[in-house]
A and B are shown apart, each in its own frame.
Chain A
Amino acid sequence: MTQPAATTIDRWSGGTCPFDAGWRKVMMWWFIITDGLLFAGFLGAYGYARILALRWPDQSTVFSLPYIAAMTFVLITSSATMASAVEAAKEGKRRLALRFIVLTAIGGAVFLGMQAYEWWHLIEEGARLNTNPWGDASFSAYFFLLTGFHGSHVLTGVSILITTAIRTAKGWSTADGVEMAGLYWHFVDLVWVFIFTLFYLL
């Protein structure tokens, strides 16, 4: 016996979630939207300040762009391993999923380490929240604000990944749970793409 496919009207007429997803995933998506708008607020403020700025430094002289590109590469790669973890979890391959989750967490940790080194290096050269040797004070203020907030999100992501890894190792996690950790992780990576483009390159 074959069930007739649910139409859009069926999906929206109650008794079920219209997106073929549980409430957890609906909530995660909305959380990502609101968290995304938090970064939109920071980036919007940065754009506003950038337009007002009198002496915005040339980023290529301040940052080592190959180093930042390497950081970006590590983070994007971790998104790929995360996608593989979600796929493996869906297929029920628990050990494979665990391996990919751990790889993703390592990618995140490496990114954080590289960012910490970058901060240390810039602070050595005299960058502070309220001043820097290269140009407008708001340059370093927004640098620390944007990368700091993003870094704290990566840290949260790594903690979520470690939790998911433990749960997967113990056999407690579900494919949905891994996917939700993945949603958050991809979001954090996407935010970095915006920061990388708008703050480092533009």
Chain B
Amino acid sequence: MTNGFVRRYIFSTDHKIIGIQYILTGLIMAIVGAWLAVLIRLQLGWPEHQWVFLSRLLPKGMPSGVMTPEFYLAVVTMHGTIMVFFFISYVLVSGFGNYLVPLQVGARDMAFPFLNMLSYWIALLSAVVMVLSFFVEGGAAAAGWTAYPPLSAVASAVPGSQMGQTLWILSMALFIASFTMSGLNIVATVFSTRAPGLSMMRLPLTVWSFFIASILGLLAFPPLTAGAVMLLFDRHFGTSFFLPSGLVVAGKLLPNTGGSPLLWQHLFWFLGHPEVYVLILPALGIAFDILPAFTRKPVFGYRISVWCLVAVGCLSMIVWGHHMFVSGMSPFTGEYFSLVTLTITVPMTIFGVNMLASLWGAKLELRTPMLFALSVIAMFGSGGFGGLFLGNATADMQLHDTYFVVGHFHMMIGGVTLLATFAAIYFWFPKMFGRTMNETLGRLHFWFTFGPFFVIFFMQHFLGLQGAPRRYYAFTAFDYLRDTRGQNLAISIAALLLVSGQLLFLVNFVWSLFGGLAAKANPWQATTLEWTTASPPPHGNFETQPVVERWAYEYGVQTTDGDFAVQTVPARNVPVTA
């Protein structure tokens, strides 16, 4: 291509550019998702208030300024879909996965750079299709991010199940294609392109977490693809894969016979459960790796942490039924799913305790990335407790589809991943752009993120205990929920605070991009391979092929650089501890 700019920054095959493209796309989608969250909270906090300015903006969804129930369902659906698939997946898994994996394994690029570029452009197309579905007849999909049939399969069931649901399925198909390409690339890169000396047990935990997350994605997404194809057939070609006999929708008996909506739930959750680990494992890996740069001591229990990630990855494939305890499954099946689900707490607790033990006896440097990494531990521990209740079939009967579930999964795949995403952005921003982000704004942003986030979703657990069901657009019609009015108001105010706090981040991000202080090659004095090259790294990453001599956590030793040894420092200069 003649135009150098286009070749270098738009249609680039460089994994660093593609990673940054993913991150920027994900952040833009996060703004869309956050805007939808604001609409949800305005509705729940002030159920009958007339928002006149919003009625001008959204004449169909909010005529006279009050949201219609159908529009609320579409907003909830799209908020979930966008945040899970188009924000966290793009920024954390695809974005940082692309950026960090080749650098941290000492490779010049991904194994297959062209496929990598293709995966980004398909991902972008998928995001565009998803956002465009707001503007078609009937509006965006409204069957929840889980798209349960019959709601999602019958066009007359809800306005969003017309064109919007079809676009939702197409967008997900594109997403899966793109995620498969990117996952294949990461797996092949980790297997085949590690630098000499970089054995699997010397990989930074970040790489391990991307590696396992990619494998999980490759194993879990295909059955959902199968389900999506069948749903598309049910919607457009008259099949009854998910539609039972005798279904009456909008006063009309449907001609379908013999299908089962539960089949969709099995296919969906066979993906859905591993998918949450696809998101949370990189978050944990990143937090685990950021800690030692600010404690200046080796992490605790690296090897056992690796095996914990592997164990969680394996277990996550066989626990999907815990999302379906109320679907009428046999109590024995429920018992099995409870048992394996609660088994996950063992490796996860070991991992959490390893992170805590990594802090033991250290003098903590509370820089912005460290604050976010610490808050990952806090959020992970607190959110994890809710999982103990939900994994129990008996307790789940009561808590299923209440705000307890909403609070739990927002803390885990919302909070842990969001905080880790910010930790990663603050930590690797100097490497990506050669500039440093503002520390004061960063710390302020931390408190405006962690504080309100924790308050919102901690309180939602209690709403759930009181029996408030999720996805309802107002609680005004129920006597037993009248008292929750004040709680919903408080949550809404905290949510607005959280969203406005993100403006600090946007300002900091944009301002630092152009006016931040120039960053050194290794501003945090960290040990992994990406810090041995310039900030930002040149095309091809390393001037000479790095040769790895030690593990990724050589802190607290005496070298000419300071109290750490990067992975390439020869063993004859500094003794190798692991």
Closest to B266 in A: A48
* Residues of chain A within 8 A of B473, CB atoms compared: none
C-alpha gap A129/B259 in the complex (Å): 13
Give 9 closest A-B pairs by Cβ, nearest first.
A41-B226, A15-B196, A41-B223, A14-B198, A38-B222, A17-B192, A130-B238, A37-B222, A14-B194
A31 contacts chain B at the CB level, 8 A cutoff: yes
Give chain B's interface secondary structure class: helix
B212 contacts chain A at the CB level, 8 A cutoff: no
B257 contacts chain A at the CB level, 8 A cutoff: yes
| Pairwise interchain contact B548-A45, C-beta atoms closer than 8 A | no
C-alpha gap A48/B194 in the complex (Å): 43
What is the interface of chain A, defined by CB distance below 8 A to chain B? 9, 12-19, 22-24, 26-27, 30-31, 33-42, 44-45, 48-49, 52-54, 128-130, 136-138, 141, 145, 149
* Residues of chain B within 8 A of A40, CB atoms compared: 222-223
B267 contacts chain A at the CB level, 8 A cutoff: yes
| Pairwise interchain contact A15-B197, C-beta atoms closer than 8 A | yes
Interface size for B (C-beta < 8 A) is 49
* Residues of chain A within 8 A of B237, CB atoms compared: 129-130
| Pairwise interchain contact A35-B222, C-beta atoms closer than 8 A | yes
**Pairs A–B under 8 Å by Cβ, sample size 16:** A15-B194, A15-B195, A15-B198, A33-B219, A34-B180, A35-B222, A38-B225, A38-B226, A44-B267, A45-B267, A48-B260, A53-B258, A129-B237, A130-B239, A130-B240, A138-B258
Interface stretch, picked from B58-66, B123-131, B151-159, B182-190, is B182-190
Residue from the list A14, A16, A31, A128 in contact with B184, Cβ < 8 A: A31
* Residues of chain B within 8 A of A30, CB atoms compared: 183-184, 187-188, 218
B200 contacts chain A at the CB level, 8 A cutoff: yes
B227 contacts chain A at the CB level, 8 A cutoff: yes
Counting chain A CB atoms within 10 Å of each CB, which of B106, B199, B225, B226 scores highest? B226
Counting chain B CB atoms within 10 Å of each CB, which of A14, A18, A33, A39 scores highest? A14
Q: Which of B413-461 contact A (CB under 8 A)?
A: none
Known: A26-B191, A45-B227. A141 touches B219 (CB 8 A): no
* Residues of chain A within 8 A of B193, CB atoms compared: 23
Residue from the list A15, A34, A48 in contact with B221, Cβ < 8 A: A34
Known: A13-B199, A136-B258. A45 touches B189 (CB 8 A): no
C-alpha gap A152/B270 in the complex (Å): 25
C-alpha gap A30/B256 in the complex (Å): 38
* Residues of chain A within 8 A of B266, CB atoms compared: 44, 48
C-alpha gap A149/B263 in the complex (Å): 19
Query: Could you give, for residues 222-248 of chain B, a 1 whenever the CB lies within 8 Å of some chain A CB and a 0 otherwise?
Result: 111111011001000111110000000
B310 → chain A closest CB, angstroms: 15
Counting chain B CB atoms within 10 Å of each CB, which of A19, A35, A130 scores highest? A130
Residue from the list B196, B218, B227 in contact with A14, Cβ < 8 A: B196
| Pairwise interchain contact B263-A48, C-beta atoms closer than 8 A | yes
A89 → chain B closest CB, angstroms: 22
| Pairwise interchain contact B200-A12, C-beta atoms closer than 8 A | yes
Closest to B203 in A: A14
Query: Could you give, for residues 77-113 of chain B, a 1 whenever the CB lies within 8 Å of some chain A CB and a 0 otherwise?
Result: 0000000000000000000000000000010000110
Residue from the list A17, A38, A137 in contact with B223, Cβ < 8 A: A38
* Residues of chain B within 8 A of A36, CB atoms compared: 222
* Residues of chain A within 8 A of B185, CB atoms compared: 27
B250 → chain A closest CB, angstroms: 20
* Residues of chain B within 8 A of A39, CB atoms compared: 226
* Residues of chain A within 8 A of B191, CB atoms compared: 17-19, 23, 26
* Residues of chain A within 8 A of B224, CB atoms compared: 41
Closest to A135 in B: B258
B303 → chain A closest CB, angstroms: 15
Known: A30-B187, A45-B263, A129-B238. A14 touches B199 (CB 8 A): yes
C-alpha gap A187/B509 in the complex (Å): 48
| Pairwise interchain contact A34-B188, C-beta atoms closer than 8 A | no
* Residues of chain A within 8 A of B184, CB atoms compared: 27, 30-31, 34
| Pairwise interchain contact A42-B259, C-beta atoms closer than 8 A | no
A104 → chain B closest CB, angstroms: 25
| Pairwise interchain contact A23-B219, C-beta atoms closer than 8 A | no
